[in-house]
Chain A
Amino acid sequence: NAGVTQTPKFQVLKTGQSMTLQCAQDMNHEYMSWYRQDPGMGLRLIHYSVGAGITDQGEVPNGYNVSRSTTEDFPLRLLSAAPSQTSVYFCASSYPLGQGGNTGELFFGEGSRLTVL
């Protein structure tokens, strides 16, 4: 029962490098999202997707790209890493609100700690 799987769990990058954080879920959730967590700022939404082929921007999308080619996968791409992107990143998924009685609660991955030097 894997749930939401994020890889890698830790990554160190140099400024200007690019990388992809992987996220996969096996619960057939339509909704997937990426958050970043910074001290004193809670979790802030980067990008989200309501289904395969559909993505949209959240609160802090600059410097990040996403795609959703399948229901299961939702990778987050850092195009040119900057020190300001040093953070802990969480992928989360859920059923649409109301579907099958669900209340839309988010199921989170274990997080990925990214350091940009």
Chain B
Amino acid sequence: ETGVTQTPRHLVMGMTNKKSLKCEQHLGHNAMYWYKQSAKKPLELMFVYSLEERVENNSVPSRFSPECPNSSHLFLHLHTLQPEDSALYLCASSQVAGGSYNEQFFGPGTRLTVL
């Protein structure tokens, strides 16, 4: 599959569970992003990685832990989440992080429900 892929597409977890979201980009980009999309709220930038180095962390609770092992893969590790963390989590990639004008390509998202 081309573009940006995310797995799983849907996830239901309890507050005591530990799970991980995975994102993979097949575009040769060197920057990757995690966003949270909640109903009637703007897209919230959570984390940015440029060349596998975290360059942005938008005051995200520590129960969300990102990992970027290489420029093509991005993970979001989840533990002890709260019901208000239920949302669509979108991954995106771009050619260069910040600096110049870069189109972001989004993945299809993971619909997360925390019970």
Instruction: Answer whether A and B are interacting partners.
Output: no
